[in-house]
Chain A
């Protein structure tokens, strides 16, 4: 009864989405007040209906209604309660419903917080979002209905994949989807602007907070995924250039370009076409990611159960959304022509370079991810593109970015001189070299990559501090105070520096040892002694485990006691639970391999990973920076500042 209600609610939501997608758009075109006014209420109603549907699915999981096929496939009677909830989005059908839910929530939020925008514009934006919703809801209902019953009923369900029974897995997908779906808002703003043929760039200011928040969530979601893979998968890796990971990373790269491009367009009216295109591409990449993960086109650790029918549907959807938006761009973009109002050396051009490098990096990742598909289509055989490709090219394409980041905020708009920009950074440059040399000395020798990483990271951080120094030195700016947008920028850029230090250090100096250890044996890793003290069986709620005890000592002092486990779950899956001693400057990581010689010894994996936490710390900084910037008062003021509007109107008149 209740699952049927959930399905019914979803069908109603689809109908409302259809109304939302069509009527307000036509209303805006034809000036029909009543239809325009439908937009906001429709958005709220849609959100309520999808939320209800989701709640009912969650209910089915919580009460363990195994007559619902989806519940039976991914949950069973001994699954702990908290995982029953996260199992809702643990597989394809439920995760699509989560997408739809988050989309309807963003739509409702845009409806709520857009009072200061012209109603016709808002109507168009909401309509675009409604049409996207139509796509997702119909995709869910037609190909991936989570409410399907099956008869005869099962007495008990399968288990949820043990890899997914974990806190990280509870939080990671929702955060990720908040990001992907959030880009739909930037997309909708861009499409609405294209439809209206708005030459002035006020709409960019309105779309900035939404884009910044979406980007922040995406940053968090990706960082969570990386952190989760690190502690859950038992191999000590934090990024594998897996197609599904790449599918989330590409929108992030474009999203980063987008938030910077939006800043330029908002303040100077430049790079408008870049901003429009990037907004379209960011969301399109989110959709592409959805396609890649669910269609079976690429094999991957993460991929959901693949299905060509779903794949075809998503592809058609992608074709309509992206194809439609790009066609609109091709048609309307010429009228947005603005004279290139800046010189080769200026803040605009630095940010243009930023766009270029990020797009190039994204294209490189896209090529590597899709190449196996191309190869198969052309009959070149089955190939896979490994991490070496990405690992080599990504640093090359992004290194220029790290070098240029500190200069951007201090460069003048429109016209500047290279020497003038570079002058204040002498100290930062020297600091970078000094710190790297000090680290080299302290560590008694470091690999080249580690040194480079420290140089770049300290350069970015010191460069960011240079901005603060210059800011405080100028009495006028000091009086005005640092805007939240600037604070956000500083935090995020600093986070970038922290990130690159973490990455380069851990990739070049981590120690990984796979070895055979018998009970009582010890091994030395970087001055620490790891002793395999004991191993014994242990029972969990839905698994049986071998529970190991490892003690780490530095001399006589005990540094950590670690308890790695090898678990066998009900559905006969075997899982490695790694034991980690986290630290600011290093992680100690122990995982059990397999029993050898009938259990007399074990294959054991021991890692010493310096500075790995800095990777996620840097990402958290970036996220925080994005949220700070989104909260900037200037982006939210109802009455637009006279200066900005006058400038915009002048632009409008000139076009």
Chain B
């Protein structure tokens, strides 16, 4: 094989190898860093593993927000109008966080019914609800209606 051809072949092979490695890295990183969105009903049905980093969404149950003692501990309950989930968060809550409003929290389950949040999101206009949350609630309500006689 003449030298130019060989050089080209080498370059191409190197390039392919690089692409292969890069793709593998990327896909690996992607898989590790995905966050699934679940509703309290999903958690109740066991669809979320303990310790896995996820996002939960729903509405902050009225009368459920409790601020801790000395620090910035806050506990509240997220509901999709069918099932509830207790949430613990340490930090400053966003401006639009309010009882009866939609919320999305990022973190992990520390038990079957306790969620430890490290991020609480309520970044929307107060008259806007994320589609995921609205869907979760509609599904929750439908299930509830089905259960009722």
Chain A residues close to B by CB (< 8 Å): 161, 234, 299, 301, 340, 344, 356, 360, 364, 367-368, 371, 375, 381-386, 388-389, 392-393, 396-397, 514-516, 572-576, 593-594, 596-597, 603-605
**23 chain-A/chain-B pairs, Cβ below 8 angstroms:** A299-B131, A299-B132, A344-B11, A364-B26, A367-B26, A368-B30, A371-B30, A383-B35, A384-B34, A384-B35, A384-B55, A385-B33, A389-B32, A389-B34, A392-B29, A393-B25, A514-B90, A572-B126, A573-B95, A573-B125, A574-B95, A603-B92, A603-B93
Check B95–A576 contact: CB distance below 8 A. Answer: yes
Check B96–A574 contact: CB distance below 8 A. Answer: yes
Known contacts A364-B26, A368-B30, A593-B93: A299-B130 contact under CB 8 Å: yes
A299 to B61 alpha-carbon distance, docked (Å):
24
- Using Cβ atoms and an 8 Å threshold, which residues of chain B touch A605? 92
Asked whether B72 is an interface residue with its Cβ less than 8 Å from the other chain, the reply is: yes
A383 to B30 alpha-carbon distance, docked (Å):
11
Asked whether B22 is an interface residue with its Cβ less than 8 Å from the other chain, the reply is: yes
- Using Cβ atoms and an 8 Å threshold, which residues of chain A touch B106? 386
A384 to B15 alpha-carbon distance, docked (Å):
31
- Using Cβ atoms and an 8 Å threshold, which residues of chain A touch B33? 385-386, 388-389, 392
Partner of B36, one of A360, A371, A382: A382
Partner of A382, one of B25, B29, B37, B90: B37
A375 to B37 alpha-carbon distance, docked (Å):
12
A397 to B26 alpha-carbon distance, docked (Å):
10
Check A397–B22 contact: CB distance below 8 A. Answer: yes
Q: How far is the CB of A551 from chain B (nearest CB, A)?
A: 21
Asked whether B123 is an interface residue with its Cβ less than 8 Å from the other chain, the reply is: yes
For A375, A384, A392, A515, the residue with the greatest tally of chain B CB atoms inside 10 Å of its CB is A384
Known contacts A299-B131, A360-B22: A594-B96 contact under CB 8 Å: no
- Using Cβ atoms and an 8 Å threshold, which residues of chain A touch B34? 371, 375, 383-386, 389
Asked whether B143 is an interface residue with its Cβ less than 8 Å from the other chain, the reply is: no
Check B71–A515 contact: CB distance below 8 A. Answer: yes
- Using Cβ atoms and an 8 Å threshold, which residues of chain B touch A392? 29, 33
Asked whether B144 is an interface residue with its Cβ less than 8 Å from the other chain, the reply is: no
Q: How far is the CB of A198 from chain B (nearest CB, A)?
A: 27
- Using Cβ atoms and an 8 Å threshold, which residues of chain A touch B7? 344
Range class of the B interface residue count: 20 to 34
Q: How far is the CB of B83 from chain A (nearest CB, A)?
A: 18
A514 to B89 alpha-carbon distance, docked (Å):
12
- Using Cβ atoms and an 8 Å threshold, which residues of chain A touch B146? none
- Using Cβ atoms and an 8 Å threshold, which residues of chain B touch A575? 95
If A385-B35, A576-B95 are given as contacts, then 5 extra A-B residue pairs at C-beta distance below 8 Å, sorted by A number, are: A382-B37, A384-B55, A386-B106, A388-B33, A514-B92
A384 to B54 alpha-carbon distance, docked (Å):
9
Q: Which applies to chain A's interface (DSSP): helix, strand, loop or mixed? A: mixed
Check B35–A573 contact: CB distance below 8 A. Answer: no
A344 to B33 alpha-carbon distance, docked (Å):
37
Check B30–A367 contact: CB distance below 8 A. Answer: yes
Check A573–B126 contact: CB distance below 8 A. Answer: yes
Partner of B93, one of A161, A356, A393, A594: A594
A597 to B70 alpha-carbon distance, docked (Å):
11
**In the complex, what residue of chain B is closest to A384 when comparing beta carbons?**
B35
Known contacts A299-B130, A594-B93: A386-B30 contact under CB 8 Å: no
Partner of B37, one of A383, A393, A603: A383
**In the complex, what residue of chain A is closest to B26 when comparing beta carbons?**
A364
**In the complex, what residue of chain A is closest to B53 when comparing beta carbons?**
A386
Chain B residues close to A by CB (< 8 Å): 7-8, 11, 15, 22, 25-26, 29-30, 32-37, 55, 67, 70-72, 90-93, 95-96, 106, 123, 125-126, 130-132
A375 to B29 alpha-carbon distance, docked (Å):
16
Q: How far is the CB of A391 from chain B (nearest CB, A)?
A: 9
**In the complex, what residue of chain B is closest to A592 when comparing beta carbons?**
B92
Q: How far is the CB of B8 from chain A (nearest CB, A)?
A: 8
**In the complex, what residue of chain A is closest to B106 when comparing beta carbons?**
A386
Known contacts A344-B7, A364-B26, A516-B70: A593-B92 contact under CB 8 Å: yes
Check B30–A515 contact: CB distance below 8 A. Answer: no
For B36, B95, B131, the residue with the greatest tally of chain A CB atoms inside 10 Å of its CB is B95
- Using Cβ atoms and an 8 Å threshold, which residues of chain B touch A344? 7, 11
- Using Cβ atoms and an 8 Å threshold, which residues of chain A touch B91? 514
Q: How far is the CB of A607 from chain B (nearest CB, A)?
A: 12
A516 to B73 alpha-carbon distance, docked (Å):
10
A356 to B106 alpha-carbon distance, docked (Å):
35
A340 to B130 alpha-carbon distance, docked (Å):
52
A196 to B25 alpha-carbon distance, docked (Å):
41
Q: How far is the CB of A296 from chain B (nearest CB, A)?
A: 8
**In the complex, what residue of chain B is closest to A575 when comparing beta carbons?**
B95
Partner of A594, one of B8, B32, B71, B92: B92
Check B72–A603 contact: CB distance below 8 A. Answer: yes
Q: How far is the CB of B5 from chain A (nearest CB, A)?
A: 12
A340 to B32 alpha-carbon distance, docked (Å):
40
Q: How far is the CB of A94 from chain B (nearest CB, A)?
A: 18
Q: How far is the CB of B41 from chain A (nearest CB, A)?
A: 14
Check B72–A515 contact: CB distance below 8 A. Answer: yes
A384 to B72 alpha-carbon distance, docked (Å):
27
A575 to B96 alpha-carbon distance, docked (Å):
9
A575 to B95 alpha-carbon distance, docked (Å):
7
**In the complex, what residue of chain B is closest to A389 when comparing beta carbons?**
B33
The 9 A-B pairs of least Cβ separation, nearest first, read A593-B92, A389-B33, A382-B37, A574-B95, A388-B33, A514-B91, A603-B92, A383-B34, A301-B123
For A161, A382, A572, A575, the residue with the greatest tally of chain B CB atoms inside 10 Å of its CB is A382
A603 to B91 alpha-carbon distance, docked (Å):
8
Q: How far is the CB of A294 from chain B (nearest CB, A)?
A: 16
Q: How far is the CB of B93 from chain A (nearest CB, A)?
A: 6
A407 to B143 alpha-carbon distance, docked (Å):
65
A573 to B125 alpha-carbon distance, docked (Å):
8
Check B25–A383 contact: CB distance below 8 A. Answer: no
A597 to B96 alpha-carbon distance, docked (Å):
19
Check A516–B55 contact: CB distance below 8 A. Answer: no
